[in-house]
């Protein structure tokens, strides 16, 4: 059979039907359905449960949820894809049947939304903490009477009252107010040092200030034992520094030499002396290669800075702390009576010493294991050490070393924080006393700094 002859003369004859045309391709529909099923099987075969979905569709058809016309999916696609689409029809029918009216469904939407978005609060913890606050006269019972009538649902509102009461206990001046974040998290009242709360002491460079300077730094040492363990200049940068302890160890070995040397002389000594003869471990400063000129110069500068800082502020209480505090108080009072030009500072120091003495006479000192408390990292600087006292002076290398160590801790563990318990007897025995002592200590530090601004004879 030859090829069909098609006339080109369209004026007199109509074209005969073509054996093949774009609208009558043989088996194209069936081929597309097969391809569709194969593609579905490759990517979505797990969506089809032949036994379960077939039973669901049968029950839907018998119950009238879907009509016979829905079965066209199986007529066109007698395969997994067809069953999947038919199941979709059944699901759509179920959704129509179960559709709920939105108008008037919920009464008092605002109250419901507030309830749903309120974090869970343990009513037992809230009740116990509220009682402790009432016993401490921080909350009046009349202020919570209506809340308590709500039963367990009042826990969140009670925590709001407790948080406000504890915020009132921890009244903070600047810079602490803007640098310390606080609030209730779960069963704890959390304090977090987002940055250092720094108090700068502008120390007069005059001979008649020496006696006051000794009393000042011994008083600061007393405050760290009997109030809160904040960072003094010695513990932040100097001999007791957490981040400069390796420098402090080297300084202890070379103290006599450093006291009489310049940075240049110490640099020369470090470069010309074999590591094994230096008297301290150099690995943390030099690795396995020993000092080069740059590292030796920086380390020498740190040693000299540590010596200058120690000479300026290295005064501590001895073994019999209460007796020495009494002596310091007497010396301060005598100096004030004699007309010391720094009587304003001495007056604040007497106030601080008397507070510490009252703690000591009660047998109290701050001996909490901070690293075991909630919110505190197992290593590194604690929350209270983010409260820092610094002195006027030039200590750039020690500062850089401390800040580098602190930044590393923050990146690894977050900002220093502490969680004070709200649950059980610890609320009264631990949380409230620590908050009161923290507030007292920070207020005293602020008053000390302010008093050093201008001596009495220059007012």
Position 217 scores a pLDDT of 97
CA dist 93 → 55, 65, 81, 142, 272 (Å): 15, 6, 19, 57, 90
Percent of the chain with pLDDT over 70: 92
Mean pLDDT across 189-215: 92
Examine the pLDDT at 319 and tell me if it is beyond 50: yes
| Phi and psi, residue 189, nearest 5° | -100, 110
In a domain, 6, yes or no: no
Distance between CA 87 and CA 80 in Å, rounded? Answer: 10
Spatial strand order of the sheet with 417-421 comes to 180-185, 188-193, 417-421
386 and 364 in a common domain: yes
Confidence band (pLDDT; 50, 70, 90) for 431?
very high
| Count: domains in the chain | 4
Examine the pLDDT at 24 and tell me if it is beyond 60: no
140 and 125 in a common domain: yes
Position 5 scores a pLDDT of 47
> What is the number of helices (H) and of strands (E) in the chain?
20, 5
Q: Select the more confidently predicted residue: 430 or 16.
A: 430
273 and 379 in a common domain: no
In a domain, 126, yes or no: yes
363 and 229 in a common domain: yes
Asked if residue 424 lies in contact with residue 122, where contact means CB atoms within 8 angstroms, the answer is no
Average pLDDT over the chain reads 87
In a domain, 386, yes or no: yes
301 and 254 in a common domain: yes
Distance between CA 387 and CA 434 in Å, rounded? Answer: 14
245 and 224 in a common domain: no
Examine the pLDDT at 455 and tell me if it is beyond 70: no
**Among 313, 329, 359, residue at a domain's last position:** 313
Position 413 scores a pLDDT of 82
282 and 246 in a common domain: yes
**Among 267, 288, 313, residue at a domain's last position:** 313
Position 359 scores a pLDDT of 97
Position 454 scores a pLDDT of 45
Burial 194-212 (b: 16+ CB within 10 A, else e): eebbbbebebbeeeebeeb
Position 177 scores a pLDDT of 85
344 and 263 in a common domain: no
Position 459 scores a pLDDT of 33
Structure confidence by residue, pLDDT tens digits, 360-410: 999 999 998 888 888 887 777 889 999 999 998 889 999 999 999 888 888
321 and 182 in a common domain: yes
Percent of the chain with pLDDT over 90: 53
Examine the pLDDT at 282 and tell me if it is beyond 90: no
Q: Select the more confidently predicted residue: 45 or 429.
A: 429
In a domain, 29, yes or no: no
Q: By three-state DSSP, how is residue 421 classified?
A: strand
In a domain, 26, yes or no: no
pTM over 0.85: no
Position 39 scores a pLDDT of 79
Mean pLDDT across 175-187: 89
Range of the domain at 88: 61-92
Structure confidence by residue, pLDDT tens digits, 117-146: 777 888 899 999 999 999 989 999 999 988
Confidence band (pLDDT; 50, 70, 90) for 22?
low
439 and 361 in a common domain: yes
412 and 342 in a common domain: yes
Distance between CA 125 and CA 422 in Å, rounded? Answer: 7
**Which range has highest mean pLDDT (94-98, 173-177, 214-218, 252-256)?**
214-218
Q: Which helix (H) or strand (E) holds 126?
A: helix 123-135
Examine the pLDDT at 9 and tell me if it is beyond 60: no
In a domain, 103, yes or no: no
Structure confidence by residue, pLDDT tens digits, 49-108: 889 999 999 999 999 888 889 888 888 888 888 888 899 999 998 888 887 776 777 778
Examine the pLDDT at 111 and tell me if it is beyond 60: yes
334 and 390 in a common domain: yes
User: DSSP 3-state helix, strand, coil percentages of the chain (rounded to 5)?
Assistant: 60, 5, 35
Confidence band (pLDDT; 50, 70, 90) for 26?
low
Position 107 scores a pLDDT of 79
In a domain, 211, yes or no: yes
In a domain, 67, yes or no: yes
């Amino acid at each position: 059979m030859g090829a069909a002859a098609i006339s080109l003369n369209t004026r007199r004859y109509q074209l005969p039907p073509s054996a093949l045309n774009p609208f009558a391709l043989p088996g194209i529909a069936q081929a597309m359905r097969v391809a569709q099923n194969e593609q579905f099987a490759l990517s979505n075969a797990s969506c089809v449960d032949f036994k379960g979905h077939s039973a669901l569709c049968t029950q839907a058809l018998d119950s009238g949820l879907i009509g016979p016309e829905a079965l066209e999916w199986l007529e066109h696609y007698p395969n997994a894809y067809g069953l999947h689409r038919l199941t979709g029809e059944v699901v759509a029918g179920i959704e129509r049947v179960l559709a709920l009216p939105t108008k008037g469904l919920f009464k008092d939407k605002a109250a419901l939304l507030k309830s749903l978005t309120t974090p869970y609060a343990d009513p037992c913890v809230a009740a116990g903490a509220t009682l402790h606050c009432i016993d401490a006269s921080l909350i009046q019972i009349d202020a919570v009477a209506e809340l308590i009538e709500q039963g367990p649902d009042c826990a969140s509102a009670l925590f709001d009252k407790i948080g406000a009461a504890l915020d009132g206990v921890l009244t903070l001046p600047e810079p602490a107010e803007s640098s310390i974040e606080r609030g209730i998290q779960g069963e704890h009242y959390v304090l977090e040092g987002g940055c250092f709360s720094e108090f700068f002491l502008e120390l007069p460079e005059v001979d008649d200030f020496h006696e006051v300077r000794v009393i000042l730094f011994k008083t600061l040492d007393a405050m760290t034992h009997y109030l809160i363990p904040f960072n003094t200049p010695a513990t932040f940068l100097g001999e007791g520094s957490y981040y400069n302890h390796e420098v402090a160890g080297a300084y202890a070995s070379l103290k006599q030499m450093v006291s009489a040397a310049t940075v240049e002389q110490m640099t020369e000594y470090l470069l010309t002396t074999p590591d094994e003869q230096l008297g301290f471990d150099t690995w943390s400063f030099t690795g396995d290669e020993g000092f080069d000129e740059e590292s030796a110069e920086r380390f020498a500068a740190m040693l000299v800075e540590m010596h200058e800082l120690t000479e300026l502020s290295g005064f501590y209480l001895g073994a019999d702390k209460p007796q020495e505090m009494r002596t310091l108080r007497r010396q301060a009072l005598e100096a004030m009576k004699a007309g010391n030009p720094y009587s304003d500072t001495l007056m604040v120091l007497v106030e601080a010493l008397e507070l510490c003495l009252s703690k000591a006479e009660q047998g109290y000192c701050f001996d909490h294991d901070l690293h075991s408390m909630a919110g505190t990292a197992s290593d590194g600087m604690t929350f209270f050490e983010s409260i820092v006292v610094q002195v006027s002076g030039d200590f750039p290398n020690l500062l850089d070393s401390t800040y580098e160590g602190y930044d590393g801790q923050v990146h690894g563990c977050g900002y220093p924080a502490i969680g004070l318990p709200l649950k059980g007897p610890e609320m009264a025995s631990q949380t409230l006393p620590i908050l009161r002592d923290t507030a007292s200590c920070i207020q005293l530090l602020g008053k000390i700094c302010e008093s050093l601004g201008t001596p009495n004879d220059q007012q």
